[in-house]
């Protein structure tokens, strides 16, 4: 199975996750009206994290907004999945620890793992960013991000998506789908009215 067991990273980083995630108003159920609303909710969390916690999220530790939205959109069906609505889990993050609140996939009710439940969707986003910043499976992702920042001063979400094969059992098909969603986001104008530039970067 390609999906990487992330529970070790989550356990090590539980305290900062709780602290940062709770900086956003608590929502017990993740609900969205449409795709634009979905993008707006994610923006409200990510913008707050990146601006109010600069020591935790300097530029070299940030995940491009384009990539966050694309992965959340795919993994949660634009916020319509059961895991998003009942567990605030936008990225399909799994846990193998039975003591951590979780939901079982209906297709795999007896699996050793479950999809983790979060108090808020922003806590889930915090976890997601920390996984990409710390898990060994995404070392090449971090190296590419550092290279792009050093050479260009910004990152390209479509290129970085190529280094997230380990996130899904779909492998390279997964990264291709993320690129398609990134194009869709811009073609449909889902960032209209938000301080997000044409590269999908939040403007501080």
DSSP codes joined into one string, 21-60: HTTSPP-SS---SSHHHHHHHHHHHHHHHHHH-TTTS-GG
Determine, yes or no, domain membership for 204. Answer: no
Phi and psi at residue 157, to the nearest 5°: -60, -35
Assess if residue 194 is contained within a domain: no
CATH number of the structural domain spanning residue 104: 1.10.530.10
Domain that holds residue 91: 7-187
For the chain, what is the domain count?
A: 1
Q: What is the pLDDT along the chain (204 residues), one digit of tens a residue?
A: 444 333 333 333 333 444 554 544 444 567 888 999 999 999 999 999 999 999 999 999 999 999 999 999 999 999 999 999 999 999 999 999 999 999 998 888 888 999 999 999 999 999 999 999 999 999 999 999 999 999 999 999 999 999 999 999 888 899 999 999 999 999 999 999 999 999 999 997
2 found inside a domain: no
Interatomic CA distance for residues 48 and 23, integer angstroms: 8
Task: Yes or no: say if 127 and 93 are a contact pair by the CB < 8 Å rule.
Answer: yes
């Amino acid at each position: 199975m390609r999906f990487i067991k992330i529970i070790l990273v989550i356990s090590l980083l539980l305290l900062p996750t709780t602290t940062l995630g709770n900086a956003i108003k608590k929502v017990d159920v993740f609900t969205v009206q449409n795709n634009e609303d979905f993008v707006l909710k994610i923006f409200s969390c990510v913008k707050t994290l990146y601006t109010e916690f600069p020591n935790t999220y300097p530029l070299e530790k940030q995940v491009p907004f384009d990539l966050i939205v694309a992965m959340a959109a795919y993994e949660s069906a634009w916020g319509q999945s059961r895991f998003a609505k009942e567990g605030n889990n936008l990225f399909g993050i799994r846990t193998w620890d039975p003591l951590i609140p979780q939901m079982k996939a209906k297709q795999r009710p007896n699996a050793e793992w479950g999809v983790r439940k979060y108090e808020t969707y922003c806590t889930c986003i915090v976890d997601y960013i920390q996984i990409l910043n710390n898990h060994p499976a995404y070392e090449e992702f971090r190296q590419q991000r550092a290279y792009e920042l050093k050479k260009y001063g910004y990152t390209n979400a479509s290129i970085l998506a190529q280094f997230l094969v380990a996130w899904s059992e779909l492998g390279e098909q997964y990264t291709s789908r993320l690129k398609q969603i990134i194009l869709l986001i811009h073609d449909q104008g889902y960032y209209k009215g938000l301080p997000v530039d044409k590269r999908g970067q939040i403007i501080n």
